Amino acid sequence: MKIVERNAAQGYYDSMAANQTQHRRKRGTAAPELAEGEYTVDQLAHVTGSTVRNIRAYQDKDVLPPPEKRGRLGVYKEHHVSRLHLINNLLDRGFSIGNIKELLDAWLTGRELGDILGLEHAITHAFTSEKPRAYSVPELLKMFGLGAINKELIDEAVELKLLKRKGLKLVAESPSLIEAGAGLIEVGMPFEEMLELLRLLRGNVQRAADNLVEVAFPRFDTFGDELPPKEDIQKLSELIWKLRPIAHTAIRAEAEMALNRAIQKRLGDRLLSTLQSLQTED
């Protein structure tokens, strides 16, 4: 990760945003109502796992479009969320901000901006309605029935990427998965076995997802490192949006049927034997 790039801008932007927020509070100015899919800079930082400082820096370097101005308020929208996800993804892969700007400029040359942004949003959009949630270590220990002496076990959840460290907090991209893990603990499953189950589940689902993508997108591989032509960009975006709900439905349905089969296999014969025994006694 290009840590230097991410922290290139100094704390000036954060302190300036904090001072403006404090000033508005002193004046008694209420925050304006925003529509669904609209964000203040603080909200944008939260939903993308970024910081106000980095958002300002990306705007200064022309890799993130400026917000819409409503009076003195800057309003960000879904395309800003998508662009930030893309920037963070590329930074994680070792690209510098300069590289990213060159890449984006090259993509936009000779093609419709709307098509590029549509593909960008389709690729980076998280197919979930969940909002990331931060947990404290004591909160997680209590949820998972662990004592303070076992807090190193939380590191295993971090290694599995169920949680990410952020300062003194641990952030879950999917709080429902954390809740499911806690539910397994409640029904008596040991913590280590719960993690192993989630690890196995993730591996199987990931293989299924990889295979699905390999089957669905082969014709777009013919372009190599080049961006597809305009007509194919639109088709590729449409394919991604169609594929997401289909995959979600298929995986959920298959998981439910597999669970039914497992329960019947494990308990069905025993229940039948018990009923037959009761009939014999009668």
Residue 48, pLDDT > 80, answer yes
Question: What is the C-alpha to C-alpha distance for residues 90 and 98, in angstroms, rounded to an integer?
Answer: 11
Q: Does residue 49 come out as left (phi exceeding 0), alpha (psi in the -120 to 50 range) or beta?
A: left
Give DSSP secondary structure letters for 59-95: HHTTSSPPPEEETTEEEB-HHHHHHHHHHHHHHHTT-
Q: What is the pLDDT of residue 42?
A: 92
* Cβ pair 90, 49 in contact under 8 A: no
Read off the pLDDT band of 209 (50, 70, 90): confident
Above pLDDT 70, what percent of the chain? 70
Radius of gyration of the chain, Cα coordinates, nearest whole angstrom: 24
| Residue entry with tokens 């925003």 | 34
Over residues 16-43, the mean pLDDT reads 63
Burial of 63 (0-12, 13-18, 19+ CB in 10 A): buried
Question: What is the C-alpha to C-alpha distance for residues 244 and 129, in angstroms, rounded to an integer?
Answer: 13
Q: Does residue 110 come out as left (phi exceeding 0), alpha (psi in the -120 to 50 range) or beta?
A: left
Identify the CA nearest to 41 among candidates 9, 6, 68.
68
Above pLDDT 90, what percent of the chain? 11
Beta bridge partners of 169: 166
The residues, ordered by sequence, that sit 6+ positions from 48 with a Cβ below 8 Å of its Cβ are 81, 84, 85, 88
Domain 131-216: assigned CATH number: 1.10.1660
pLDDT digits (tens, 9 = 90+) for 70-109: 888 999 998 898 888 888 878 887 888 887 887 777 666 6
Tally the residues of the chain.
Answer: 282
Question: What is the C-alpha to C-alpha distance for residues 21 and 108, in angstroms, rounded to an integer?
Answer: 36
Question: What is the C-alpha to C-alpha distance for residues 230 and 275, in angstroms, rounded to an integer?
Answer: 66
Question: What is the C-alpha to C-alpha distance for residues 201 and 209, in angstroms, rounded to an integer?
Answer: 12
Q: What is the pLDDT of residue 117?
A: 59
pLDDT digits (tens, 9 = 90+) for 140-170: 888 888 876 677 788 888 888 888 888 888 8
Which of 8-17, 32-41, 195-204, 205-214 has the least mean pLDDT?
Answer: 8-17
Answer whether 0.95 is exceeded by the pTM. Answer: no
Identify the CA nearest to 225 among candidates 95, 62, 97, 106.
106
Does 85 or 215 have the greater pLDDT score? 85
Read off the pLDDT band of 23 (50, 70, 90): very low
Give ranges for CATH 1.10.1660.10 in the chain: 3-124
Identify the CA nearest to 54 among candidates 83, 28, 93, 34.
83
CA distances from 52 to 17, 81, 116, 177 (A): 8, 13, 25, 28
Burial of 157 (0-12, 13-18, 19+ CB in 10 A): buried
The SS3 call for residue 125 is: coil
> What topology does CATH give the domain 3-124?
Multidrug-efflux Transporter Regulator; Chain: A; Domain 2 (1.10.1660)
Residue 17, pLDDT > 70, answer no
Which of 60-69, 179-188, 217-226, 230-239 has the least mean pLDDT?
Answer: 217-226
Question: What is the C-alpha to C-alpha distance for residues 172 and 162, in angstroms, rounded to an integer?
Answer: 6
**Mean pLDDT across the chain, nearest whole number?**
76
Phi, psi of 67 (to 5 degrees): -75, 165
